[in-house]
Structure 1
């Protein structure tokens, strides 16, 4: 599985604003809900539950909130570059400015682990993060996904 199989061009956002970690989770859950035709709470609740187990702020200004969701038949991603970094209780205590929300089907354990590992590996690459931060707009942000930036 590759990131471009998970993230559609319309699911890349630049300039998202949030005042706190919870406001950020609410914002990305709301956007994902609109795209998936679900109630925002149906996404926010499992994402917040997972976040309660430990921060998904993986370091270097990146967060990878994720959860399993009933009714999904394939992984869904939403990538946001924030206008201003937000404290996310990340492992390195740095605020987060890149967020990749990953929603996974309830079944398909191997595929889910593959999707999570794929996105995490991609986001941890310093060149990828730098390219995402340099993207002028959502199209340029998504172009990084396919290595076209």
Structure 2
């Protein structure tokens, strides 16, 4: 699975503003709900439950909030570059400015864990992260997804 199989052009957001981790998760859940035709209450509790197990802030300014959901058939992602970094309780205590929200269908654990690993590998690559941080807008963010999908994922 490659990153461009998880993210569509409309799923990239540049300059997202969120004053806190909670507000960021709410904003991402609302965007995902809109894109998937679900309610925010279908997504936000699952994200919060996962965060209760431990932060999905993986370090180097990157977070990968994720959850399993009923009602979706394939992995879904949102890529966001934040306008201002936010405290995300990351493993390295650094604030987060790059986020990929990943929603996975129930069942098919091996295949879907592959999606999570794919996104983590792609986003943690220093060249990819630098390119994403330098992108001028959402279209440029998504162009990086396409240009690095096969070589980095």
SS at match of 2:89: coil
CA RMSD of aligned residues (A): 0.7
The TM-score, its normalising length taken from structure 2, stands at: 0.95
The TM-score, its normalising length taken from structure 1, stands at: 0.98
> Is 1:53 aligned to 2:53, yes or no?
yes
Q: Where do residues 5-16 of structure 1 align in structure 2 (5 Å cutoff)?
A: 5-16=5-16
Consecutive unaligned residues in structure 1, runs of 5 or more: none
Aligned length: 148
Tell me what 2:85 maps to: 85
SS at match of 1:85: strand
Tell me what 1:120 maps to: 120
Tell me what 2:129 maps to: 129
Consecutive unaligned residues in structure 2, runs of 5 or more: 149-153
Q: CA deviation at 1:107?
A: 1.1
SS at match of 1:136: coil
Tell me what 2:29 maps to: 29
